Amino acid sequence: MEITMQPLGTWKNAPLAYVVAEVRFGNILSLDAVAARFQDLITATYPRLIKGQAVALSFGEQGVSTQVVPRYQFLSEDGRSCVVLTNDTISVHATSYIDSAYFANGLAVVWDAWLLARPKTFVERLGLRYWDIVLPEGGLPVGGFFAPPLSAVETLWAGKQLARHTHELVYSVDGPIQHTAIARLGTVPAVHPHPPNFVVVPELLPSKRLQRAVKFARESSDATVGFVDVDASADIARVLDVASFVDCAKGLHESQSSVFKSITSLDGQAIWKDGNPNA
């Protein structure tokens, strides 16, 4: 049964499939106690708990050692957003996304609750990652959604299509918060539309865009789709209150948005904005 969901973002036919924001901090030795306090504070928004385990890697003089640590997943009632807590990270995942302001407000709620559960958290790093799925639609092939010269890679000669490729572009960004924006883009088989090394929460309901990619793969076993995976992150190395946290996240989103628009074509953006994929 197909689940009806709205496209992510303000564009009528937005390609956005998944969003995640992650905070990395120092190891928490008493994670169970902190998680219990945190759960009490976010239950109204994230009432469902899935407790599991994760493997943490430690690097020392004796090499790499592993340790099994608790992993908490706090899911919203509708199954479209989730907070994941481990011994050194807290992240917010979403397959439902109205706009950046709405997502920033959700981050503020989570971070406010976290600071009440564990005040004065020293933030090592903050990251924001967006995954978009590029489908052939609106009269454009997958390559038509990328800006030159990337579009030329997709259509090297008539009658052929590229089965798989991946590019990585790394940008250094100055400003109030210095950070790095990494854009990964390419073509993959539609049956495996995820970008490389992109970890999702499998318990979340799939976005409308991902549902369309799955349907496309079923209709054509050799179909290919494109992906755009933009990961903006910054070394913070300080304590962040809620307002500063949101400001940092907004700065990362501005870079993410600028990079996305620079590597996609104007024709493709028009199809995504106007919501007429079958034109």
pLDDT digits (tens, 9 = 90+) for 22-72: 999 988 888 999 999 999 999 999 999 999 987 765 556 666 667 778 899
Mean residue pLDDT across the chain: 87
Structural domain includes residue 99: yes
Residue 168 φ then ψ, to 5°: -130, 125
Give the span between the Cα atoms of 226 and 167, in whole angstroms: 11
Q: Do the bridges between strand 122-134 and strand 224-239 make them parallel or antiparallel, or are there none, so unpaired? A: antiparallel
Q: Which token pair is 95?
A: 């397959």
Give the span between the Cα atoms of 26 and 183, in whole angstroms: 27
Strands (DSSP E) found in the chain: 16-25, 48-60, 63-75, 81-85, 89-94, 122-134, 165-173, 179-189, 224-239
Domain span at 207: 16-274
Q: What is the domain count for the chain? A: 1
Structural domain includes residue 4: no
Structural domain includes residue 9: no
Q: Is the pLDDT of residue 2 over 60?
A: no
Query: Distance of CA 5 to CAs 2, 237, 279, Å?
Result: 9, 38, 22
Residue 4: pLDDT band with limits 50, 70, 90: very low
Give the span between the Cα atoms of 135 and 130, in whole angstroms: 16
Residue 180 φ then ψ, to 5°: -120, 135
By the 8 A CB rule, do 262 and 121 touch?
Answer: no
DSSP type of residue 144: G
User: Residues 254-266, buried b or exposed e (16+ Cβ, 10 A)?
Assistant: bbbeebbeebbbe
Structural domain includes residue 231: yes
Structural domain includes residue 3: no
In sign, the C-alpha dihedral spanning 131, 257, 81, 87 is positive
- 31-42 vs 100-117: helix crossing angle, rounded to 10: 130
Least confident segment among 119-133, 152-166, 257-271: 152-166
**pLDDT, tens only, 187-216:** 888 999 999 889 999 999 999 999 999 999
Residue 160: pLDDT band with limits 50, 70, 90: low
Q: What per-residue confidence (pLDDT) applies to 3? A: 31
Q: Is the pLDDT of residue 154 over 80?
A: no
Structural domain includes residue 6: no
Q: What per-residue confidence (pLDDT) applies to 5? A: 34
Q: What per-residue confidence (pLDDT) applies to 148? A: 85
Residue 97: pLDDT band with limits 50, 70, 90: confident
Closest to 143 measured CA to CA, from 130, 158, 170, 162: 162
Structural domain includes residue 93: yes
Predicted TM-score (pTM) of the model is 0.88
Q: Is the pLDDT of residue 279 over 70?
A: no
Least confident segment among 48-57, 71-80, 127-136, 184-193: 48-57
Residue 232: pLDDT band with limits 50, 70, 90: very high
Structural domain includes residue 59: yes
By the 8 A CB rule, do 242 and 115 touch?
Answer: yes
